[in-house]
Structure 1
Amino acid sequence: MTNDQPVIRRADAADAEAVAEVWLRSYDAALPTVRRPRPDDQVRTWFVEKIVPTRETWVAVADGAVVGMMVLHDGDLDQLYLAPEWRGRGIGDRLVEVAKERCPEGLELWTFQVNTPAQRFYERHGFVESRRTDGSANEEREPDVRYVWKP
Protein backbone atom coordinates (compact mmCIF):
# COMPACT_ATOMS: atom_id res chain seq x y z
CA MET A 1 0.00 0.00 0.00
CA THR A 2 1.05 3.57 -0.60
CA ASN A 3 0.47 6.69 1.45
CA ASP A 4 -0.15 8.65 -1.75
CA GLN A 5 -3.70 9.51 -2.62
CA PRO A 6 -5.23 7.24 -5.25
CA VAL A 7 -6.00 8.62 -8.69
CA ILE A 8 -9.74 9.04 -9.38
CA ARG A 9 -10.68 8.37 -13.01
CA ARG A 10 -13.36 6.92 -15.24
CA ALA A 11 -13.33 3.15 -15.36
CA ASP A 12 -12.79 1.31 -18.60
CA ALA A 13 -13.43 -2.28 -19.65
CA ALA A 14 -10.06 -3.40 -18.31
CA ASP A 15 -11.14 -2.27 -14.81
CA ALA A 16 -14.42 -4.19 -14.71
CA GLU A 17 -13.20 -7.33 -12.95
CA ALA A 18 -11.29 -5.30 -10.34
CA VAL A 19 -14.36 -3.12 -9.78
CA ALA A 20 -16.40 -6.25 -9.10
CA GLU A 21 -13.80 -7.54 -6.64
CA VAL A 22 -13.81 -4.25 -4.69
CA TRP A 23 -17.61 -4.35 -4.61
CA LEU A 24 -17.67 -7.95 -3.35
CA ARG A 25 -15.01 -7.44 -0.68
CA SER A 26 -16.50 -4.18 0.54
CA TYR A 27 -20.08 -5.47 0.59
CA ASP A 28 -19.09 -8.53 2.59
CA ALA A 29 -17.03 -6.47 5.07
CA ALA A 30 -19.56 -3.63 5.53
CA LEU A 31 -22.80 -5.60 5.32
CA PRO A 32 -22.18 -9.03 6.87
CA THR A 33 -25.83 -9.44 7.89
CA VAL A 34 -27.30 -8.46 4.50
CA ARG A 35 -28.09 -11.37 2.19
CA ARG A 36 -26.62 -11.05 -1.28
CA PRO A 37 -29.19 -12.33 -3.78
CA ARG A 38 -26.56 -13.36 -6.33
CA PRO A 39 -23.41 -15.48 -6.10
CA ASP A 40 -19.99 -13.93 -6.70
CA ASP A 41 -19.71 -15.11 -10.31
CA GLN A 42 -23.02 -13.45 -11.24
CA VAL A 43 -21.93 -10.21 -9.55
CA ARG A 44 -18.68 -10.28 -11.54
CA THR A 45 -20.57 -10.86 -14.80
CA TRP A 46 -22.97 -8.00 -13.93
CA PHE A 47 -20.06 -5.57 -13.57
CA VAL A 48 -18.18 -6.82 -16.63
CA GLU A 49 -21.14 -7.03 -19.02
CA LYS A 50 -23.63 -4.47 -17.71
CA ILE A 51 -22.32 -1.90 -15.25
CA VAL A 52 -18.90 -0.79 -16.48
CA PRO A 53 -19.83 -0.80 -20.20
CA THR A 54 -23.17 1.02 -19.80
CA ARG A 55 -22.98 3.16 -16.64
CA GLU A 56 -20.77 6.04 -15.62
CA THR A 57 -18.32 4.12 -13.46
CA TRP A 58 -15.46 5.75 -11.57
CA VAL A 59 -12.51 4.12 -9.88
CA ALA A 60 -9.89 5.07 -7.32
CA VAL A 61 -6.57 3.52 -8.31
CA ALA A 62 -3.49 3.17 -6.08
CA ASP A 63 -0.30 1.42 -7.13
CA GLY A 64 -2.07 0.12 -10.23
CA ALA A 65 -4.90 -1.50 -8.26
CA VAL A 66 -8.55 -0.47 -8.04
CA VAL A 67 -9.23 0.37 -4.38
CA GLY A 68 -12.57 2.13 -4.73
CA MET A 69 -15.48 2.37 -7.14
CA MET A 70 -18.57 4.46 -7.76
CA VAL A 71 -21.40 4.22 -10.29
CA LEU A 72 -23.58 7.15 -11.36
CA HIS A 73 -26.77 6.59 -13.33
CA ASP A 74 -29.61 9.02 -14.10
CA GLY A 75 -28.93 11.22 -11.07
CA ASP A 76 -28.44 8.27 -8.74
CA LEU A 77 -25.24 7.61 -6.87
CA ASP A 78 -25.89 3.95 -7.53
CA GLN A 79 -22.84 2.28 -5.97
CA LEU A 80 -19.95 3.53 -3.82
CA TYR A 81 -17.66 0.90 -2.34
CA LEU A 82 -14.07 0.94 -1.09
CA ALA A 83 -11.64 -1.89 -0.47
CA PRO A 84 -11.92 -2.44 3.29
CA GLU A 85 -8.27 -1.60 3.96
CA TRP A 86 -8.71 1.75 2.16
CA ARG A 87 -11.61 3.06 4.24
CA GLY A 88 -11.08 6.19 6.29
CA ARG A 89 -8.54 7.74 3.92
CA GLY A 90 -10.78 10.30 2.20
CA ILE A 91 -11.37 8.30 -0.98
CA GLY A 92 -15.13 8.16 -0.44
CA ASP A 93 -15.14 11.93 0.13
CA ARG A 94 -13.33 12.43 -3.17
CA LEU A 95 -15.74 10.14 -5.02
CA VAL A 96 -18.75 12.04 -3.63
CA GLU A 97 -17.13 15.30 -4.80
CA VAL A 98 -16.87 13.81 -8.31
CA ALA A 99 -20.53 12.71 -8.14
CA LYS A 100 -21.63 16.23 -7.14
CA GLU A 101 -19.56 17.76 -9.95
CA ARG A 102 -21.04 15.31 -12.48
CA CYS A 103 -24.62 15.79 -11.19
CA PRO A 104 -24.73 19.44 -10.08
CA GLU A 105 -28.55 19.47 -10.15
CA GLY A 106 -28.67 16.92 -7.35
CA LEU A 107 -28.22 13.26 -6.47
CA GLU A 108 -30.20 10.49 -4.85
CA LEU A 109 -29.12 7.16 -3.42
CA TRP A 110 -30.24 4.16 -1.40
CA THR A 111 -28.45 2.63 1.56
CA PHE A 112 -29.51 -0.13 3.90
CA GLN A 113 -30.88 0.86 7.30
CA VAL A 114 -28.35 -1.43 9.00
CA ASN A 115 -25.50 0.49 7.34
CA THR A 116 -25.32 3.32 9.88
CA PRO A 117 -21.71 4.23 8.93
CA ALA A 118 -22.90 4.92 5.35
CA GLN A 119 -25.81 6.98 6.64
CA ARG A 120 -23.44 9.13 8.73
CA PHE A 121 -21.10 9.45 5.75
CA TYR A 122 -23.82 10.66 3.37
CA GLU A 123 -25.38 12.98 5.94
CA ARG A 124 -21.94 14.53 6.49
CA HIS A 125 -21.91 15.22 2.74
CA GLY A 126 -25.24 17.05 2.84
CA PHE A 127 -27.56 14.20 1.88
CA VAL A 128 -30.93 14.28 3.63
CA GLU A 129 -33.10 11.27 4.34
CA SER A 130 -36.25 11.38 2.22
CA ARG A 131 -37.89 8.05 3.09
CA ARG A 132 -37.47 4.59 4.58
CA THR A 133 -38.82 1.33 3.23
CA ASP A 134 -39.32 -2.16 4.59
CA GLY A 135 -37.07 -3.56 1.86
CA SER A 136 -39.83 -5.37 -0.03
CA ALA A 137 -38.83 -3.58 -3.26
CA ASN A 138 -35.13 -4.52 -3.24
CA GLU A 139 -33.53 -7.85 -4.12
CA GLU A 140 -31.99 -8.26 -0.69
CA ARG A 141 -35.36 -7.76 1.06
CA GLU A 142 -33.50 -5.47 3.46
CA PRO A 143 -35.03 -2.27 4.90
CA ASP A 144 -33.41 0.74 3.26
CA VAL A 145 -33.19 4.52 3.29
CA ARG A 146 -33.46 6.96 0.37
CA TYR A 147 -31.16 9.97 0.56
CA VAL A 148 -31.28 13.16 -1.52
CA TRP A 149 -28.68 15.85 -2.06
CA LYS A 150 -29.66 19.20 -3.58
CA PRO A 151 -27.10 21.96 -4.11
Structure 2
Amino acid sequence: MNGAELVLRRAVDSDAADIADVWLRSFAAALPTVRRAHGDDEVRGWISTVVVPQYETWVAVAEGAVIGLLVLDGGELEQLYLDPSWRGRGVGDRFMELAKRQRPHGLGLWTFHVNGPARRFYERHGFTAVEQTDGQRNEEGEPDVRYTWQPQG
Protein backbone atom coordinates (compact mmCIF):
# COMPACT_ATOMS: atom_id res chain seq x y z
CA MET A 1 0.00 0.00 0.00
CA ASN A 2 3.02 2.32 0.25
CA GLY A 3 1.63 4.09 3.30
CA ALA A 4 -1.58 5.22 1.59
CA GLU A 5 -4.67 4.98 3.73
CA LEU A 6 -7.24 2.59 2.33
CA VAL A 7 -10.89 2.95 3.26
CA LEU A 8 -13.55 0.37 2.46
CA ARG A 9 -17.05 1.81 2.59
CA ARG A 10 -20.51 1.34 1.16
CA ALA A 11 -20.92 2.97 -2.21
CA VAL A 12 -23.22 5.94 -2.64
CA ASP A 13 -24.94 7.11 -5.83
CA SER A 14 -22.24 9.71 -6.49
CA ASP A 15 -19.63 6.91 -6.69
CA ALA A 16 -21.25 5.30 -9.74
CA ALA A 17 -19.14 7.04 -12.41
CA ASP A 18 -15.89 6.25 -10.59
CA ILE A 19 -17.01 2.64 -10.03
CA ALA A 20 -17.75 2.30 -13.74
CA ASP A 21 -14.33 3.72 -14.64
CA VAL A 22 -12.60 1.17 -12.39
CA TRP A 23 -14.76 -1.67 -13.75
CA LEU A 24 -13.98 -0.75 -17.35
CA ARG A 25 -10.21 -0.34 -16.78
CA SER A 26 -10.00 -3.54 -14.79
CA PHE A 27 -11.99 -5.62 -17.28
CA ALA A 28 -9.84 -4.36 -20.16
CA ALA A 29 -6.60 -5.12 -18.31
CA ALA A 30 -7.56 -8.48 -16.79
CA LEU A 31 -9.64 -9.91 -19.62
CA PRO A 32 -8.26 -8.60 -22.92
CA THR A 33 -9.41 -11.68 -24.85
CA VAL A 34 -12.99 -11.68 -23.51
CA ARG A 35 -15.65 -10.05 -25.67
CA ARG A 36 -17.56 -7.50 -23.60
CA ALA A 37 -21.31 -7.96 -24.05
CA HIS A 38 -22.05 -4.26 -23.39
CA GLY A 39 -20.47 -0.99 -24.44
CA ASP A 40 -19.02 1.59 -22.06
CA ASP A 41 -22.23 3.65 -21.86
CA GLU A 42 -24.32 0.55 -21.11
CA VAL A 43 -21.89 -0.47 -18.36
CA ARG A 44 -22.05 3.04 -16.88
CA GLY A 45 -25.86 2.98 -16.94
CA TRP A 46 -26.02 -0.50 -15.39
CA ILE A 47 -23.72 0.51 -12.55
CA SER A 48 -25.61 3.74 -11.81
CA THR A 49 -29.16 2.38 -12.12
CA VAL A 50 -28.78 -1.25 -11.01
CA VAL A 51 -25.54 -2.08 -9.21
CA VAL A 52 -25.18 0.83 -6.77
CA PRO A 53 -28.87 1.29 -5.86
CA GLN A 54 -29.93 -2.38 -5.82
CA TYR A 55 -26.94 -4.42 -4.60
CA GLU A 56 -24.66 -4.29 -1.60
CA THR A 57 -21.88 -2.33 -3.27
CA TRP A 58 -18.62 -1.46 -1.54
CA VAL A 59 -15.76 0.70 -2.74
CA ALA A 60 -12.10 0.90 -1.82
CA VAL A 61 -10.91 4.49 -1.66
CA ALA A 62 -7.24 5.48 -1.57
CA GLU A 63 -5.59 8.80 -2.24
CA GLY A 64 -9.05 10.35 -2.61
CA ALA A 65 -10.10 8.06 -5.47
CA VAL A 66 -12.20 4.92 -5.89
CA ILE A 67 -9.70 2.17 -6.70
CA GLY A 68 -11.83 -0.96 -6.31
CA LEU A 69 -15.33 -2.34 -6.01
CA LEU A 70 -17.01 -5.31 -4.39
CA VAL A 71 -20.63 -6.22 -5.11
CA LEU A 72 -22.60 -8.73 -3.07
CA ASP A 73 -26.09 -9.99 -3.90
CA GLY A 74 -27.45 -12.42 -1.35
CA GLY A 75 -24.92 -15.22 -1.14
CA GLU A 76 -23.22 -14.24 -4.40
CA LEU A 77 -20.03 -12.28 -4.85
CA GLU A 78 -21.16 -10.61 -8.08
CA GLN A 79 -18.27 -8.26 -8.82
CA LEU A 80 -14.74 -7.76 -7.53
CA TYR A 81 -12.64 -5.40 -9.62
CA LEU A 82 -9.54 -3.36 -8.82
CA ASP A 83 -7.92 -0.55 -10.70
CA PRO A 84 -5.03 -2.27 -12.51
CA SER A 85 -2.43 -0.11 -10.75
CA TRP A 86 -3.69 -1.38 -7.36
CA ARG A 87 -3.56 -5.10 -8.08
CA GLY A 88 -1.18 -7.07 -5.88
CA ARG A 89 -1.25 -4.48 -3.10
CA GLY A 90 -3.59 -6.19 -0.61
CA VAL A 91 -6.83 -4.47 -1.63
CA GLY A 92 -8.39 -7.68 -2.93
CA ASP A 93 -7.46 -9.44 0.32
CA ARG A 94 -9.21 -6.69 2.29
CA PHE A 95 -12.29 -6.99 0.09
CA MET A 96 -12.31 -10.77 0.57
CA GLU A 97 -12.14 -10.39 4.36
CA LEU A 98 -15.05 -7.96 4.16
CA ALA A 99 -17.11 -10.27 1.92
CA LYS A 100 -16.62 -13.19 4.29
CA ARG A 101 -17.60 -11.03 7.29
CA GLN A 102 -20.71 -9.88 5.46
CA ARG A 103 -21.60 -13.43 4.36
CA PRO A 104 -20.32 -15.67 7.19
CA HIS A 105 -22.41 -18.64 6.04
CA GLY A 106 -20.72 -18.87 2.65
CA LEU A 107 -20.33 -17.31 -0.77
CA GLY A 108 -20.53 -18.34 -4.39
CA LEU A 109 -19.21 -16.68 -7.52
CA TRP A 110 -18.51 -17.14 -11.20
CA THR A 111 -15.29 -16.15 -12.94
CA PHE A 112 -14.10 -16.68 -16.47
CA HIS A 113 -11.94 -19.75 -17.01
CA VAL A 114 -9.37 -17.64 -18.86
CA ASN A 115 -8.88 -15.40 -15.79
CA GLY A 116 -6.09 -17.38 -14.15
CA PRO A 117 -5.07 -14.64 -11.69
CA ALA A 118 -8.64 -14.36 -10.36
CA ARG A 119 -8.98 -18.13 -10.10
CA ARG A 120 -5.72 -18.36 -8.12
CA PHE A 121 -6.86 -15.47 -5.91
CA TYR A 122 -10.17 -17.15 -5.07
CA GLU A 123 -8.52 -20.53 -4.48
CA ARG A 124 -5.98 -18.87 -2.17
CA HIS A 125 -8.94 -17.50 -0.22
CA GLY A 126 -10.49 -20.93 0.28
CA PHE A 127 -12.90 -21.06 -2.65
CA THR A 128 -13.37 -24.40 -4.39
CA ALA A 129 -14.25 -24.87 -8.06
CA VAL A 130 -17.54 -26.79 -8.21
CA GLU A 131 -18.69 -26.38 -11.82
CA GLN A 132 -17.34 -25.40 -15.22
CA THR A 133 -19.37 -24.34 -18.23
CA ASP A 134 -18.75 -23.81 -21.92
CA GLY A 135 -19.96 -20.20 -21.74
CA GLN A 136 -23.38 -20.78 -23.23
CA ARG A 137 -25.08 -19.34 -20.13
CA ASN A 138 -23.25 -15.99 -19.96
CA GLU A 139 -23.58 -12.97 -22.23
CA GLU A 140 -19.92 -13.04 -23.23
CA GLY A 141 -20.09 -16.65 -24.47
CA GLU A 142 -16.92 -17.31 -22.45
CA PRO A 143 -16.25 -20.57 -20.54
CA ASP A 144 -16.54 -19.92 -16.84
CA VAL A 145 -16.01 -21.55 -13.46
CA ARG A 146 -18.30 -21.60 -10.43
CA TYR A 147 -16.57 -21.26 -7.05
CA THR A 148 -17.98 -21.63 -3.56
CA TRP A 149 -16.64 -20.86 -0.12
CA GLN A 150 -17.94 -22.34 3.12
CA PRO A 151 -16.56 -21.37 6.52
CA GLN A 152 -14.63 -24.07 8.36
CA GLY A 153 -15.94 -25.55 11.60
With the shorter chain as reference, the TM-score category is: over 0.9
Secondary structure of 1:96's counterpart equals: helix
Query: Which of structure 1's runs of 4+ aligned residues deviate more than 6 A?
Result: none
Tell me which amino acid in the other structure corresponds to 2:28: D
Q: State the alpha-carbon separation in 1 of the partners of residues 79 and 50 from structure 2.
A: 14
Give TM-score, length-normalised by structure 1.
Answer: 0.98
Percent identity, please: 61
Partner of 1:95: 95
Report the counterpart of residue 136 of structure 1 in structure 2. 136
CA distance in 2, matches of 1:2, 1:105: 33
Residue by residue over 1:57-104, the C-alpha shift from the partner in whole angstroms, topping out at 9 and shown as x without a partner, is 000001210000010001000000000000000000000110000000
CA distance in 2, matches of 1:5, 1:126: 27
Could you tell me how far apart the structure 2 residues matched to 1:97 and 1:19 are? 20
2:145 — aligned with what?
145
C-alpha offsets along residues 8-65 of structure 1, whole Å, 9 cap, x if unaligned? 1110101111011100000000000000011000000000011001100000001210
TM-score (norm 2): 0.96
User: Which sections of structure 2, spanning at least 5 residues, go unmatched?
Assistant: none
Distance in 1 (CA, whole Å) between partners of 2:118 and 2:27 is 12
Correspondence list, 1:66-145, <5 A:
66-145=66-145
Residue 33 of structure 1: aligned partner? 33
Equivalent pair of 2:29/2:84 in contact (CA under 8 Å): yes
> Which one-letter code corresponds to 2:138 in the other structure?
N
Q: Are the counterparts in 1 of residues 4 and 63 from structure 2 also a CA contact under 8 Å?
A: no
Aligned CA-pair RMSD? 1.1
Q: How many pairs align?
A: 151
**How much has 1:3 moved relative to structure 2?**
3.2
